[in-house]
Amino acid sequence: MRSGTDKPKLSEAEFTILRDLILERTGLFYHNNKRDLLEDKLSSLVVDRGFFSFLDYYYLLKYDTTAEAEWRLLIDTLRVPETFFWREHDQLTALVEVLLPQYLSSLPRGPLRIWSAACSTGEEPLSIAMAISEAGWFDRAWIEIIASDISASTIDKTKKGLYRPYSLRNLPMNLRDKYFVPDEGGLWRIASHIQQRVKWTTANLTLKADVASLATAHFIYCRNVFIYFPEEVIRKTVQHFFEYMPTPGYLFVGAAESLLKITTNFELQEVKGTFVYVKR
């Protein structure tokens, strides 16, 4: 057996085949200068399995009967959980003050659907729910919020509704006191009536079958996700959104992300000082 401190090194060839397999399965892409980062993230998994090389781990992921369970662990290891409440709140303002009233005035019978496509630990969809609640739209319209993440364990954690103070750092204090209560260990618990406004599920954004029903939402928030995807994966994912979204449909991405060189299917529109991609 290998020693727990005897970490294998990730060779260039191993890096290439693992990187390509991870890209194929998750959409995440590690550039050549991220080889050390990938080695660091995967080393504990390789050592814990008693393997002597990353090639052994590649074979497990590719061919072993336990591969599906291992992929779930790997995804949890690779995910980037940086998020917080009220992030890019100008997009929330545009939603509740302009786009919702505009859409609801002409929406046929049925619910208006909002999808948080990569919700991580839930701060984004819960912020959407709070903004809608503050504007009084839940009392005036049938609105459904769906939140998904590739990590099943993250979704399970999110359902508990517990957050560290750091996640609330950007949330106005009056909203914190209105929608959260202190819990054990210095944590804050989201109000149950807000938590219950969100339907939680898992989805891999790179798989058309996973997004087909979710992308029928009138509004899609897919923020700070595409910065981790290569251009061809972004193009494929956005095309899937476009195929299933109603017309008009609204797609929000992160402030540092742009689709202008990726697709011509969506029209970039400024709404109340922020930008949204519109399917016409």
Give residue 1's pLDDT.
44
Number of structural domains the chain divides into: 2
Check whether residue 116 and residue 17 sit in a common domain.
Answer: no
Helix %, strand %, coil % for the chain, to 5? 50, 15, 35
What range does the domain containing 34 cover? 12-78
Torsion of CA 152, 238, 124, 272, to 10 degrees: -170
Mean of per-residue pLDDT scores for the chain? 91
* 2 belongs to a structural domain: no
Q: Where are the alpha helices (DSSP H) in 135-206?
A: 152-158, 173-179, 192-195
Check whether residue 98 and residue 24 sit in a common domain.
Answer: no
Work out the pLDDT band at 186, boundaries 50, 70, 90: very high
Work out the pLDDT band at 256, boundaries 50, 70, 90: confident
Check whether residue 163 and residue 226 sit in a common domain.
Answer: yes
23-32 pLDDT, tens digit each = 988 888 888 9
Check whether residue 93 and residue 61 sit in a common domain.
Answer: no
How many other CB atoms are found less than 10 A from the CB of residue 228? Answer: 17
Q: Name the more confident of 256 and 177.
A: 177
Work out the pLDDT band at 209, boundaries 50, 70, 90: very high
Check whether residue 168 and residue 194 sit in a common domain.
Answer: yes
57, 78, 99 - which closes a domain: 78
Provide mean pLDDT across the span 23-49. Answer: 88
Alpha-carbon separation of residue 250 from 53, 111, 144, 221 (angstroms) = 46, 16, 15, 8
Check whether residue 32 and residue 147 sit in a common domain.
Answer: no
Check whether residue 51 and residue 103 sit in a common domain.
Answer: no
Q: What is the CATH number of the domain that holds 73?
A: 1.10.155.10
71-102 pLDDT, tens digit each = 888 888 887 667 899 999 999 999 999 999 99
Asked whether residue 6 carries a pLDDT value surpassing 70, the answer given is no
Check whether residue 41 and residue 70 sit in a common domain.
Answer: yes
* 3 belongs to a structural domain: no
* 225 belongs to a structural domain: yes
Provide mean pLDDT across the span 102-113. Answer: 84
* 4 belongs to a structural domain: no
Check whether residue 175 and residue 238 sit in a common domain.
Answer: yes
Torsion of CA 118, 126, 152, 203, to 10 degrees: -40
Check whether residue 99 and residue 204 sit in a common domain.
Answer: yes
Structural contact between residues 219 and 117, judged by C-beta atoms closer than 8 angstroms:
no
Check whether residue 72 and residue 107 sit in a common domain.
Answer: no
